[in-house]
Structure 1
Amino acid sequence: MVAHSSDSASKQSPDAHSAHDALVEAVGVHTSFPAADGSILHVLDDVNMTLRVGEVVAILGKSGSGKSTLLRTLAGLITPSSGAVRYRGEQLTGANPGVAMVFQSFALMPWLSVLENVELGLRAAGVSATDRRQRALAAIEQIGLEGFEKAYPRELSGGMRQRVGFARALVLQPDVLMMDEPFSALDALTGENLRSELMMLWGRPDFPTSCICIVTHNIEEAVLMADRVLVLGSGPGHIKAEVPVLLPRPRDRRSPTFEAMVDRLYAILADRDEAAAPRKGSVPGPLTHPLPDASVGGLAGFTEIVYSHDGQADLPDLADELSFEVDDLMPLVDAARMLGLLEVEGAQAFLTAEGYRWHLAGMHDSKEVFAELAVAHAPLVRTIVRALENSNDGALRDDFFRDLLLRGFTAEDAQQQLDTAIQWGRYGELYDFDANTGELILSEVAAAIAALLDGDLDR
């Protein structure tokens, strides 16, 4: 059974911590995995963090930043390639005995009833049948599922199934409750209700855990729940910022202080990592500067919206206005910045002169503007154009570029990079793609643009 400390009843200010409050620590954690082609994929780099008694910590980041890998590493489900994870000062060599997990996908056993699902961890820990049943029933009541003990997962709504997940974790009375995007699979209202109920339970002295750690990509969720937010940067994942949330509970998302905190986190999350900026005099490459997963149509719609806001927009307000999550909006922001269509200062986005030029151009001219910007600023598009120029007949199979991309990406990400580059290049009429033969074929437009820009790019 996971031991529960009496510390959970003494929640304290995040500023009042001492070294004795540390529950889980990551020290110089680096995590890598072998890629499909035998190379190494670096997921986490030099992560140092501590989870302490009496606090809620949110790990916030874009898709691909390593949030879930970090959470599973802290839980002892993934062994770091280097560095260490400690629980109450002892280095982990397996699953963390002080942690219980709640997953996005609910992860319930469909052939077991609600009561049997909640009892699973206790059964594995060897708790007697009588104690197991008593504790499981208490957890079911605490999480608001009384009357559904005999129901099966297929008979429950998504929100009720996630409640079972919470009850199954809390019945273990863990030191740390870890949650991986626990509300993202639910509709907005159900997620909001469940989140509010969880925070009400957290405020009670009898809540059976000492610390909560939640992985999320939702900035408002992080501000609503957390005492501290750790913002992860990408490529590989690293802690970009640690931001305390010093707002009283319950938190009002309409208050100016709440909105200011959302703006601050959005600005940190939207900012490019310093490591991603090209060194002076260097030309970014396709492995170091991947193409954001954004379509030309999506970019056109995004620049149209910013244009309609007088050429500038507050990104958090825009995301809220469009009912976007940050993962939906950020690829468009990153792509617009890469192509020079947009500049971002803090949480404010501004159309550049090139952004206005592309948006206001007619159909034919807009293709030419986009082609020019893609060759100048999108490394993979430029690489494809130059490779085709250097081939005998201006044509190469897509396998050539896919094999090169596999040196730095997983097979899935390499294909996404190639698909994006093909779409961007075809829109700009830089090259065409024959799906039957898998060949990319250079156009006359590409040669002219490459020649025009070649001097600037090589300086």
Structure 2
Amino acid sequence: MKKTLIELNQISKRYILPNQTSGSILEDININIKEGEFVSILGPSGSGKSTLLRIIAGLVSPSQGTVLYNGKPIVSTNPGVGMVFQSFALFPWLTVLENVKLGLENKSLKEAEIMRKALSVIDMIGLDGFEGAYPKELSGGMRQRVGLGRALIMEPDILLMDEPFSALDVLTAENLKNDLLELWTEKKIPTKSIIMVTHSIEEAVYMSDRAIVLSKDPARVIADIPITMPHWRDKQESSFTSLVDRIYSILTKKEIKSPDTTGVQKKKMEKVQQVPAGALTGFIELIADLGQKVDLYKLADQLNLDLEDFLPIVEAAQMLHFALIQHGDIELTEVGHQFADASVLDRKILFKESVLSYIPIMEKLVWILHSKSNHKMEREFFVEIFAKHFGAKEAELQMDILIDWGRYAELISYDENAKVLFLDHDSTASG
């Protein structure tokens, strides 16, 4: 039986909102990572993937639960991990050799041994000949190789990678992925396990032995999927594409609730996806043009969109009841088809009806404006309300998208200079 390296037991992470209430980003996370596993962590943007990785590294403390490394609780920085960051995190005033050597700065080794290890790692990651170069002289892919080398020189049991390829162009990323897989599969590195946060489902299926899927608000483990295909994997094979489809289906599965017409139930203040109305309109038009059902994986690939960019559009379409997701496929609802076929003015009417029916946060905003005798209110007033639910930064983002949707639906108008929202003339009349 393979040895368990990392155990996450009932991990939760909470934060305090401005009104002193507690918000939660991670809730009851239970994960075991065994020796010999390459594990990917997937989830929507803002689902706490990076926070979870930092908890494993001991860089962030959980609000609840325990992290065990080799059966022992982590009380500070995890001694068994090395970490590769998305942003390279190199010191620009140090050379490649000096940046790599930093991984051993806390080790009681002689300089000759440190130099030997550093040069060996530099050769292994394909940067032989660049020992004296500074980060500004390197391409993005080469800089990420330096970051990888700095982590590997520590000979960690567990290599943690936080979206390590997302800042690279497609070809550079593909090359680095294959080089890392070669080091891993051919056991050229002593690392016993790799845990990678990624926003690419295809990347997870291509590289990993397991894919752990998180939900959002708060994050919980909703799927833990073994990936048993042998390396090297063909992305065109049906077994590969069907697994990608399955994960897409899990991530986009959303219960569509009937609107509350009784007024008895209190509607939840749910965040709106950061998708401009124009982009959403174009997306619905595209689905209508492509036919009845469209494979989400193939659609994302054709649009060249990763999970972080693609899921919000899909979720926004679902939230407004314009689209339905089933088994990894997306299709328009009846109102979605009506929207796609409608004239510009009729689209605004349909959008307005959906927003008021299914977006409680917009309904609340419009109700407040209606309740004012002059039908006006400062933006800051709404920001303060929403900050109590989402935090200050998210409240500003929510206001941006609500203003965009409200303008498109001709529900509200906005004076950017005065920072004031007011009801559209027609909305005032109808109210």
Q: Under TM normalisation by the shorter chain, which class is it?
A: over 0.9
The alignment partner of 1:73 has SS state of helix
**Structure 2 counterparts to residues 148-187 of structure 1, below 5 A:** 148-187=130-169
Unaligned stretches of 5+ in structure 1? 1-16, 451-459
Q: Distance in 1 between matches of 2:17 and 2:272?
A: 19
Q: Distance in 1 between matches of 2:188 and 2:285?
A: 52
- Post-superposition shift, 1:384? 1.0
> What does the per-residue CA deviation read over 1:381-434, in whole Å, with 9 as the maximum and x for residues that have no partner?
111111111122212222221111111212221111111111111111111112
Instruction: Quote the residue 1:284 is aligned against.
Output: 267
Q: Choose which of 321, 332, 338 in structure 2 pairs with 1:357.
A: 338
Q: Work out whether residues 290 and 379 of structure 1, in 8 Å CA contact, stay in contact via their aligned partners in 2.
A: no
- Post-superposition shift, 1:279? 10
> What does the per-residue CA deviation read over 1:195-250, in whole Å, with 9 as the maximum and x for residues that have no partner?
01100110123422000000001000000111111001000111111111111111
Counterpart amino acid of 1:169? A
Q: Distance in 1 between matches of 2:43 and 2:170?
A: 20
Q: CA RMSD in A?
A: 1.7
Q: Distance in 1 between matches of 2:138 and 2:422?
A: 53
Q: Choose which of 413, 434, 448 in structure 1 pairs with 2:394.
A: 413
> What does the per-residue CA deviation read over 1:310-338, in whole Å, with 9 as the maximum and x for residues that have no partner?
24311111001111112111111111111
Matched, 1:344 2:329: no
Q: Choose which of 353, 364, 375 in structure 2 pairs with 1:394.
A: 375
- Normalised to the residue count of structure 1, the TM-score between the two structures is 0.90
Instruction: Quote the residue 1:58 is aligned against.
Output: 40
Q: Distance in 2 between matches of 1:144 and 1:230?
A: 30
Q: Mark the CA change 1:206 to 1:358 in structure 2 (over 3 Å): closer, same or farther.
A: closer
Instruction: Quote the residue 2:232 is aligned against.
Output: 250
- Post-superposition shift, 1:448? 6.6
Q: Work out whether residues 259 and 357 of structure 2, in 8 Å CA contact, stay in contact via their aligned partners in 1.
A: no
Q: Distance in 1 between matches of 2:78 and 2:257?
A: 37
Q: Distance in 1 between matches of 2:222 and 2:383?
A: 31
Instruction: Quote the residue 1:334 is aligned against.
Output: 315
Matched, 1:72 2:48: no
Instruction: Quote the residue 1:435 is aligned against.
Output: 416
Instruction: Quote the residue 1:456 is aligned against.
Output: none
Instruction: Quote the residue 2:5 is aligned against.
Output: 23
- Post-superposition shift, 1:352? 1.0
Q: Distance in 1 between matches of 2:157 and 2:318?
A: 43
Q: Distance in 1 between matches of 2:187 and 2:395?
A: 50
Instruction: Quote the residue 1:95 is aligned against.
Output: 77
Instruction: Quote the residue 2:175 is aligned against.
Output: 193
- Normalised to the residue count of structure 2, the TM-score between the two structures is 0.96
- Post-superposition shift, 1:359? 1.6
> What does the per-residue CA deviation read over 1:155-206, in whole Å, with 9 as the maximum and x for residues that have no partner?
1111111111111111111000000000000000000010011001101234
Instruction: Quote the residue 1:321 is aligned against.
Output: 302
Instruction: Quote the residue 1:371 is aligned against.
Output: 352
**Structure 2 counterparts to residues 107-256 of structure 1, below 5 A:** 107-256=89-238
Q: Distance in 1 between matches of 2:85 and 2:380?
A: 37
Counterpart amino acid of 2:226? P
The alignment partner of 1:336 has SS state of helix
Q: How many residue pairs get matched? A: 428
Q: Distance in 2 between matches of 1:271 and 1:195?
A: 29
Q: Distance in 2 between matches of 1:363 and 1:157?
A: 46
Q: Distance in 1 between matches of 2:316 and 2:273?
A: 5
The alignment partner of 1:407 has SS state of helix
The alignment partner of 2:390 has SS state of coil
The alignment partner of 2:183 has SS state of helix
Q: Mark the CA change 1:278 to 1:27 in structure 2 (over 3 Å): closer, same or farther.
A: farther
Q: Mark the CA change 1:256 to 1:153 in structure 2 (over 3 Å): closer, same or farther.
A: same
Unaligned stretches of 5+ in structure 2? none
Instruction: Quote the residue 2:29 is aligned against.
Output: 47
